């Protein structure tokens, strides 16, 4: 798979189908172990439109790559809360 990433806008254009993907960083509260990390990642990846979710325990954050036309902050927050954690902040 080929991609072009722009650090200025955090928008990624994927060659396959020319989908425009966006990255968003979420600050997550309540994670204490690697099981928590896997649970949050699984919850975020299950949201329709999410391409990837990288969760970092030490930074207490998740970086979500997603299609803006299908997913967004509200759906991410709901998924994280349903998994038993809390989104305390998000940034694009």
Q: Which domains does the chain have, with CATH numbers?
A: 22-91 (3.30.70.100)
Sorted by sequence, the CB contacts under 8 Å of residue 61 that are 6+ apart come out as 25, 26, 27, 28, 55
Instruction: Tell me what the pLDDT averaged over the chain comes to.
Output: 85
Strand 3-5 to 50-56 pairing: unpaired
Count, residues in the chain: 92
Q: How confident is the model at residue 90 (pLDDT cuts 50, 70, 90)?
A: confident
Q: How confident is the model at residue 2 (pLDDT cuts 50, 70, 90)?
A: very low
Rounded mean pLDDT, 19-29: 91
Rounded mean pLDDT, 75-92: 91
Q: How far apart are CA 16 and CA 73, in angstroms?
A: 25
């Amino acid at each position: 798979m080929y991609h072009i990433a722009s650090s200025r806008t955090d928008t990624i254009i994927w060659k396959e189908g020319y989908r425009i993907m966006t990255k968003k960083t979420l600050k997550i509260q309540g994670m204490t172990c690697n099981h928590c990390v896997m649970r949050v990642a699984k919850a975020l990846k299950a949201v329709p439109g999410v391409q990837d979710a990288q969760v970092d325990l030490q930074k207490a954050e998740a970086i979500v790559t997603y299609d803006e036309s299908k997913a967004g902050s509200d759906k991410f927050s709901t998924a994280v809360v349903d998994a038993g954690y809390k989104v305390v902040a998000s940034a694009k």
